[in-house]
Chains A and B, each alone.
Chain A
Amino acid sequence: MPLIVLDALTKRYPGGVIALDGLTLDLEPGIIGLVGANGAGKSTLLKILLGLLPPTSGRASVMDRDVVSQGIEIRQFVGYMPEYDCLPPDLSATDFVSHMARMSGLPGGAARERTAEVLRHVGLYEERYRAMGGYSTGMKQRVKLAQALVHDPRLLLLDEPTNGLDPSGRDEMLALVKRTGTEFGMAVIVASHLLGEIERVSDFLVAIDAGRLLRAAPLTEFTERTGILAVEVEEGGDRLHDALVRRGVAATMDGRIVLVPLDDERPYDVVRDEIVTLDLSLVRLEQRRKGLEDLFRDEVPA
């Protein structure tokens, strides 16, 4: 049974802005990356899955429950980390997260125990008793993640979890997200406009643009090998290029790097022979992978 089923899901805001345009998709559990530029419809999709927003037309179901008619049942087992600030500054992380656990229907004692547990997991220790107004952005993001985890959801929806974090904060948050998906056994949907980040944590990718589905596939398919061999030599890349062209290989230059089309295994031998003949120092020889950026470059008209 798919975790999430979208059937011609459309959301039109008052004023005519179309945030989602006939999205049809089945998603299996895992760490799912939801990528798209700002305004592509990522946040709208998450809010519809939570029942925070009604779809204009089409249907969506989560864990086999309809988002419009069975929203409460869904929300019992879904955790949501919104994109923007959502923490009252005068409360401590402990008080806030435990209050939110109660709001998910957990009994008082269990709420306190779970709060201690999840705050430890997101890496908040002594500071959890201090008012959140004095927290750094990194600590606030951790509390936001903790309140989404506190009722032990089966599905976690994270909207731009690395928003506003410095590079080391990003690394830590991404590691935490990855651990949540693998070690905690939860299904996770991470929405982000940063392809590089999504690439690091997800195993399935959904790319949307202007509310339409660009592509949904396992990450490996997105980054599959291309038929291009990249050759980097210390000096004399241009001489190598010329020599390859003379031997009938359609090589091109990309800065200092010589690109060789790979239709079969033959170019490997030619490249090796020419490097030896020209007495060049080989730095790198690799088959290029398609980056996620290429996907958007290829399929989204600028």
Chain B
Amino acid sequence: MSQAGVSGPGGNIYDLGYQSYDGPRLGRRSATGALFRSALLACFGIGRGGRAKIVPIVLGVLVVLPAVLAIGISALAAQAPGSGGDALENASPVRFATYHGLIVILVMLFAAAQGPELFGRDQRYGVLPLYFSRVLTRIDYALAKTAGLWVALLLLILVPQALLLGGRIFVAPDPVTGVGKEIASVPLFVAQGLLTAGLLGSLTALVASYTPRRAYATAIVIAIFIIPPIIVALVGNLVGDDAARILVLLSPGDVLDGTNAWIYGTIPDGPVVASLALPGLVYLAAALVGIVGATGLTIRRYLTIRA
């Protein structure tokens, strides 16, 4: 090693030459975890330029807005005298059962905007050989990226409902009964959140991994959400409900509408989904098949891609 020193009035600068690394090498699990964290942060534009933060901030504000409004209504209701408060409370359109319907389009737009960049850039810029020549496997890579998107979507869904929960407990006449009344909703919105984040995240990952061009991938993700419900409605009208009952299970938006109605015991938002009257478990099964199938195909994509 060279030890050429440069002396000056402020001290000495030594060129110590090349230093080898003797520290820990944490291996595959650590690398996969680091990739998951960077994927999650990238979904929110963290570690990217200023422009990358616009979409997450705008959509983040929009998904929280109904919760803020609802807390305001609850606060008013708590102050209203007599049964007027209950009436106001019951008339509020923002409840846990309706939150999915209020924000699902925003969640889908978030996935359509952020997913393609997450999966497409490594393919567009030829970075995959650098990942695959390191300690993680192709499957690790695919799962870490997909999981990053899942968790980002889950946060987008759960944070506003956690706010709503906190707000409702806070404005209740006494917090103990408030907790008792509201806590039962937690497993319901967590379950629906897991299904929504899982299905939208997996489908977006699948589309984005096969479509490196960002604009195309975004358009396809939006189309997968918007177009099938129209087809289901048309087929229902023209061919009959039996055909529509099969097709509706291929429509991710309708499937999630179905699981939400089943979980909360309410009527689905979509009139077609409501009229088909399929058992809720069928929608749950369709969502799970969608999650597993799409993730499997995403993994397949990375196992076969040339790098």
Confirm or deny: A107 has a beta carbon within 8 angstroms of a beta carbon on chain B. Answer: yes
Interface size class of B (residues with CB under 8 A): 35 or more
CB-nearest residue of chain A to B26:
A105
User: Contact mask A75-90 → B, CB, 8 Å, 1/0?
Assistant: 1101010101111111
Which A residues lie within 8 Å of B23 (CB)? 106-107, 110
Asked, given contacts A102-B31, A185-B20, whether A80 binds B130 with beta carbons under 8 Å apart, the answer is yes
Which B residues lie within 8 Å of A249 (CB)? none
| CB proximity of A199 to chain B, nearest CB, Å | 24
Which B residues lie within 8 Å of A245 (CB)? none
Confirm or deny: B47 has a beta carbon within 8 angstroms of a beta carbon on chain A. Answer: yes
Which A residues lie within 8 Å of B38 (CB)? 99, 102
Contact residues of B between 47 and 85, Cβ < 8 Å to A: 47-49
CB-nearest residue of chain A to B131:
A103
Asked, given contacts A88-B121, A90-B48, A114-B21, whether A105 binds B31 with beta carbons under 8 Å apart, the answer is yes
B135 x A76 contact (CB < 8 A): yes
Give Cα A185–Cα B21 distance, bound, in whole angstroms.
Answer: 12
| CB proximity of B306 to chain A, nearest CB, Å | 9
Give Cα A55–Cα B165 distance, bound, in whole angstroms.
Answer: 57
Confirm or deny: A52 has a beta carbon within 8 angstroms of a beta carbon on chain B. Answer: yes
A85 x B20 contact (CB < 8 A): no
B130 x A147 contact (CB < 8 A): yes
B130 x A105 contact (CB < 8 A): no
CB-nearest residue of chain A to B37:
A102
Which B residues lie within 8 Å of A50 (CB)? 132-133
| CB proximity of B5 to chain A, nearest CB, Å | 16
A86 x B125 contact (CB < 8 A): yes
Give Cα A10–Cα B146 distance, bound, in whole angstroms.
Answer: 35
| CB proximity of B51 to chain A, nearest CB, Å | 9
Which B residues lie within 8 Å of A184 (CB)? 18, 20
| CB proximity of A162 to chain B, nearest CB, Å | 18
Give Cα A76–Cα B29 distance, bound, in whole angstroms.
Answer: 13
Confirm or deny: B126 has a beta carbon within 8 angstroms of a beta carbon on chain A. Answer: yes
Contact residues of A between 78 and 135, Cβ < 8 Å to B: 78, 80, 82, 84-90, 95, 99-100, 102-108, 110, 114, 117, 121, 131
User: Contact mask B9-26 → A, CB, 8 Å, 1/0?
Assistant: 000000001111101111
Asked, given contacts A87-B125, A89-B125, A103-B35, whether A72 binds B137 with beta carbons under 8 Å apart, the answer is yes
| CB proximity of A142 to chain B, nearest CB, Å | 15
A104 x B31 contact (CB < 8 A): yes
Q: What is the predominant secondary structure among interface residues of chain B facing chain A?
A: loop
A104 x B125 contact (CB < 8 A): no
Give Cα A184–Cα B2 distance, bound, in whole angstroms.
Answer: 11
Give Cα A181–Cα B134 distance, bound, in whole angstroms.
Answer: 21
| CB proximity of A15 to chain B, nearest CB, Å | 13
| Chain A residues with a Cβ closer than 8 Å to the other chain, count | 37
Confirm or deny: B288 has a beta carbon within 8 angstroms of a beta carbon on chain A. Answer: no
Which B residues lie within 8 Å of A72 (CB)? 27-28, 135, 137
Confirm or deny: B297 has a beta carbon within 8 angstroms of a beta carbon on chain A. Answer: no
Give Cα A86–Cα B30 distance, bound, in whole angstroms.
Answer: 23
A52 x B125 contact (CB < 8 A): no
Which B residues lie within 8 Å of A86 (CB)? 125-127, 129-130
Contact residues of B between 113 and 149, Cβ < 8 Å to A: 121-122, 125-127, 129-137
| CB proximity of A137 to chain B, nearest CB, Å | 15
CB-nearest residue of chain A to B307:
A52
Q: Which of A76, A78, A87 contacts B25 (CB 8 A)?
A: A76
Give Cα A89–Cα B121 distance, bound, in whole angstroms.
Answer: 10
Confirm or deny: B102 has a beta carbon within 8 angstroms of a beta carbon on chain A. Answer: no
Q: Which of A75, A89, A90, A152 contacts B135 (CB 8 A)?
A: A75
Confirm or deny: B159 has a beta carbon within 8 angstroms of a beta carbon on chain A. Answer: no
CB-nearest residue of chain A to B15:
A120
B21 x A110 contact (CB < 8 A): yes
Q: Which of B25, B127, B131, B132 contacts A106 (CB 8 A)?
A: B25
Confirm or deny: B219 has a beta carbon within 8 angstroms of a beta carbon on chain A. Answer: no
Give Cα A121–Cα B34 distance, bound, in whole angstroms.
Answer: 25
Confirm or deny: A241 has a beta carbon within 8 angstroms of a beta carbon on chain B. Answer: no
Which B residues lie within 8 Å of A100 (CB)? 130, 134
Which B residues lie within 8 Å of A121 (CB)? 18
Confirm or deny: A151 has a beta carbon within 8 angstroms of a beta carbon on chain B. Answer: yes
Confirm or deny: A183 has a beta carbon within 8 angstroms of a beta carbon on chain B. Answer: yes
Which B residues lie within 8 Å of A114 (CB)? 21
CB-nearest residue of chain A to B122:
A88
Contact residues of A between 129 and 180, Cβ < 8 Å to B: 131, 147, 151-152
Asked, given contacts A72-B137, A106-B26, A110-B24, whether A90 binds B49 with beta carbons under 8 Å apart, the answer is yes
A82 x B27 contact (CB < 8 A): no
| CB proximity of A78 to chain B, nearest CB, Å | 7
CB-nearest residue of chain B to A154:
B20
CB-nearest residue of chain A to B23:
A110
Give Cα A183–Cα B19 distance, bound, in whole angstroms.
Answer: 10
Which B residues lie within 8 Å of A51 (CB)? 133
Interface residues, chain A, CB within 8 Å of chain B?
Answer: 50-52, 72, 75-76, 78, 80, 82, 84-90, 95, 99-100, 102-108, 110, 114, 117, 121, 131, 147, 151-152, 183-185
Given contacts A80-B130, A85-B125, A103-B34, 8 further A-B pairs with CB under 8 A are: A51-B133, A80-B133, A86-B130, A104-B134, A106-B23, A107-B23, A108-B34, A152-B20
**6 closest pairs, A vs B, by CB?**
A152-B21, A102-B34, A80-B133, A86-B126, A184-B18, A105-B27
5 contacts between A and B (CB under 8 A): A87-B127, A104-B135, A105-B134, A107-B26, A110-B23
